[in-house]
A and B are shown apart, each in its own frame.
Chain A
Amino acid sequence: MHYDLIVIGMGLSGLMAAKTAAEMGKKVLIIGKGLGTLSIFSNTIDLLGTIPPTMKMKDGLSQWVHDHPEHPYGKVGLEKIEEALSSFNSFFPPPYTFQSKNDANSLVPTGAGTFRLTYLIPSTMMKGINLKEKKTLIIGFEGYKDFYARRLADLLNCRGITLSLSENPQTEMTAAALARRMEKPSLRDFIGAEVKKEIRDEELIGFPAVLGVNDPMGVRKDIEKKIGASIFEIPGLPPSIPGMRIFNRFKAKLIQKGGNFLSGYSVSKAIPRKNHFEKIEVFHPPVTNSYSADHFILATGRFIGGGLLADRERIVEPLFNLPVSYIGSQEEWFGKSFFAQHSIHGYGILTDASLRPIDENGKPIFENVWVAGTILSGHHCVNEKSREGIEITTGYWTARNAMKL
């Protein structure tokens, strides 16, 4: 089977690349295992968390791009970053949208009772940015052990209660189970009634981020009506239900647009011919299927998904064998303190401005391979709070470049 573009990696960068190419009318195959880190980390869209909320993102980003040419943003450029974000947003028309407050970063509360700076916030979380100004009540659920209302209340200086949802208090409930039940009116009736009993003069009610997978705004609207106060979601331990919403939306739309979605399998081999890649193989024992394309985008992420592998001496990119920009060995890659910025996180695939992987002389190694997402070198997406922004913008940019040729 031959495609215009094969995207390797099922994370947000791969999904954006596939979206971009499909919308250009190209025949795309996206192939990968898992759900990227959407279902683990992504709740909001981080663009650049180093920009203070007092500065317009555009200004801060412009300065960053200027100061950090080696950073993925430095390569993509401000104009394309804005285009990419706009493209991302086109998949999320009202009522469930991703928006910023006044085109700047805002502080949202987290499930650890802290705040984090982020840029685009889904509608179900937006009201949380007012937590410090308004009287807030936090709701937890017995049996849902990844969210503790009382701890949040103690740390955030507000009130927290835990609702009991079943006769057997020992029953555990997973995030997915809770999110599913939220989409049934019976649970919402119950929550509405219980919270109404408990609420005093609070204007804001904080819930764990489980307000349904398919129709979070419908769920929220219904509960708000029943309680009579505004509610917002608070992100917590994985799995991330808000991240799954993003994944599901991309998947549904990509399939609708005729994109080929091969989910659940990793590419086992990429077959080169001189400076050109011809095809990739997927091994699902004992069968090997191969797929060929004019262009390939590598969006396999860092270590979690196996985009990069490391032993005590080396870090490698196992599929295309692209050089990884690391120095030293395992003893040097990590700081003495957990909270230090570990040098390993800055290592990745070196590319030129169009995001083609380059050799030590700065020359592109392959004609038809492009690299998107967090596997790129030159960023510290966790400390900078730039993960989703890098994924979205580089996914968009690589597909634009690859498909123009």
Chain B
Amino acid sequence: MNQKTWPKTNADVCIRCANCMAVCPVSRVTPLFPGPKHAGPGAERFRKPGDPSVDKWIDLCIGCHLCDLACSSGVPISELNLMAKAKYLDEKGRPLRDWLLTHTYLFSRMASFLSIITNFLLMNRMVKWLADHLLDIDKRRELPAYQSPTFRQWFREHPPKGERKVAYFYGCYINTNEVEVGKAMVQVLEANGFEVFLPPQECCGLPMLGNGDFKGAREMGLKNVPSLLETIRSGTEMIYSSTSCGHMIRHEYNRLLNIPGSEEVAEHLFDLFEFLKNLNEKGDLKVQFIELPIKVAYFAPCHLRSLGIGLPALEILRLIPRLEIENIEADCCGLGGTFGFKREKYEISQEIGKDLKEAIDKLKPDVVLTDCEGCRMQIRHLTGLNVLHPIQILRKALKEPAG
């Protein structure tokens, strides 16, 4: 059958079944966002080239990709939305706040170095009030604390050990705000005989992309891919622990941003738990686990669902004896990266998160686990519970190596 003659364009493929409307977390909580059916393939039929954008509501799309997964016909709805968002913001102009939120990588090392001052300011009521009124960064949102030394700095002092090499794309947040996750990563991999290597890397660019800044995101990709490519070509596979960074590099670099070489990188880039699962399949996951009689609730981040690799963390965690694991039956946490920091979107973000909170409350776990730092921030904000990356539990369950 000649697949070339099948409908190619998205507007043609949408059959108006409204599956997407049933899963969209934003249109579920606010009528201000008309929903994926209208915002995506519906509006496409009305957008004429040359007409100015009138999609005032388009930046309410949180970019969770749940509509894409639910679509029976394969319309890449969130992609249509993102491109419309980019056009709208290009024409309307982007506020300073958006630039700040998407360029934190420029300040993060300094913020980490001066972490005591930084953290004081980020928690200070006056500063938060000013940020709210001058920049529209909602003062109710807890801003993440910076840590010192950074992960990279810690790693520099860390003696390498292991036979096979594996490269790690750690991402901005692990580097300056959640160093423990990076440490846990390294320790678990080393326990499996891998030497971790950190290729030169910059912010993956997802915050920019999510804010419709294709140009900025592409620049980050063009900076990252050559060094990642060099690593790959030297025969080293690469892992990420942040599903958001992973999704960006693995799919968006190629599909949306057309970065040369990104396809090759994607073929050798794995989610941490996907990597461990592959090892396990081959019988190479050689760790003994201690018993861990606690109850954990696992939350699958939107980007993980969109990666299309299933829920590998659940599979690995199930190897830990006596660990009680529940998969949280809820979708999007509501933070949406920079989305939930914005004053005009904070309440929508929290309303979406309410459903997740209710689901967690029902389970009453000791710890909540999730692979995305954004989700971790949001779940802490919603529940006050201890929220970790699953790798941290895995490290906890490691039997101490002899000697």
Contacts and interface: CB of A to CB of B under 8 A. Distances in A.
B147 interface: no
A177 B251 contact: no
Interface stretch (A16-24, A31-39, A353-361): A31-39
Contacts of A175: 21-22
B316 interface: no
A180 to B, nearest CB: 5
B266 A286 contact: yes
Contacts of B306: 264
B80 interface: no
Given A264-B305, A309-B1, A35 B31 contact: no
Contacts of B71: 33-34
Interface in B4-22: 5-6, 15, 17-19, 21-22
Contacts of B6: 309
A318 B1 contact: yes
A39 B309 contact: no
A50 interface: no
A2 B278 CA distance: 10
A184 to B, nearest CB: 9
B361 interface: no
Contacts of B307: 284
A138 interface: no
B29 interface: yes
A176 interface: yes
A176 B28 contact: yes
B83 to A, nearest CB: 16
Chain B binding surface, main DSSP class: helix
A172 B255 CA distance: 34
Contact of B31 (A39, A171, A285, A289): A171
Contact of A264 (B24, B34, B69, B266): B69
Interface string B36-73: 00000000000000000000000000000100111111
B1 A262 contact: no
B93 interface: no
Interface in A269-325: 282, 284-287, 289, 304-306, 309, 311, 314, 316, 318
Contact of B21 (A239, A260, A306): A239
Nearest to A258: B318
Nearest to B309: A289
Contact of B69 (A239, A241, A248, A263): A263
Contact of B329 (A1, A237, A252, A265): A252
Interface string B118-160: 0000000000000000000000000000000000000000000
Contact of B310 (A34, A39, A239, A262): A262
Nearest to A287: B266
A244 interface: yes
Nearest to B23: A176
Interface string B238-280: 0000000000001100110000001100110000000001100
A333 interface: no
A258 B277 CA distance: 14
Contacts of A174: 21-22, 27-28, 35
B192 interface: no
A286 B263 contact: yes
Interface string B288-311: 000000000000000001111111
B230 interface: no
B318 A33 contact: no
A244 B20 CA distance: 12
A123 interface: no
Contacts of B308: 262, 264-265, 282, 284, 289
Contact of B74 (A33, A180, A289, A318): A33
A1 B277 contact: yes
B249 to A, nearest CB: 11
A116 B315 CA distance: 44
Query: Chain A: interface residue count, which band?
Result: 35 or more
Contacts of A251: 329
B74 A177 contact: no
Nearest to A249: B329
A140 B325 CA distance: 41
A304 B17 contact: yes
A284 B250 CA distance: 10
Contacts of B28: 174, 176-177, 180
B353 to A, nearest CB: 13
A76 to B, nearest CB: 26
B250 A176 contact: no
B184 interface: no
B347 interface: no
Contacts of A173: 31
Contacts of B326: 256
B367 interface: no
Contacts of A34: 19, 69-72
Nearest to A36: B72
A295 B65 CA distance: 31
A261 interface: yes
A161 interface: no
Contacts of A155: none
A261 B307 CA distance: 13
Contact of B311 (A172, A248, A261, A282): A261
B251 A316 contact: no
A177 B21 CA distance: 9
A285 B254 contact: yes
B22 A239 contact: yes
Contacts of B277: 1
Interface in A192-248: 214, 237-239, 241, 244, 248
B1 A287 contact: no
Given A180-B29, A238-B17, A255-B327, A287 B267 contact: yes
B247 to A, nearest CB: 10
Contacts of A304: 15, 17, 72-73
A180 B331 CA distance: 13
A266 interface: yes
Which of A171, A286, A289 has the most CB atoms of chain B within a 10 A radius of its CB? Answer: A286
Given A239-B19, A241-B22, 12 more contacts: A35-B19, A35-B22, A175-B22, A176-B22, A177-B27, A239-B17, A262-B308, A262-B310, A264-B65, A264-B305, A266-B74, A282-B308
What 6 A-B pairs are tightest by C-beta distance, nearest first? Answer: A264-B69, A239-B22, A34-B72, A286-B263, A265-B308, A262-B310
16 contacts: A1-B277, A1-B281, A35-B19, A39-B70, A40-B17, A174-B22, A174-B35, A176-B22, A176-B28, A238-B19, A241-B22, A265-B69, A284-B251, A286-B251, A311-B1, A311-B5
Interface of A: 1-2, 29, 33-35, 39-40, 143, 171-177, 180, 214, 237-239, 241, 244, 248, 251-252, 255-256, 258, 260-266, 282, 284-287, 289, 304-306, 309, 311, 314, 316, 318
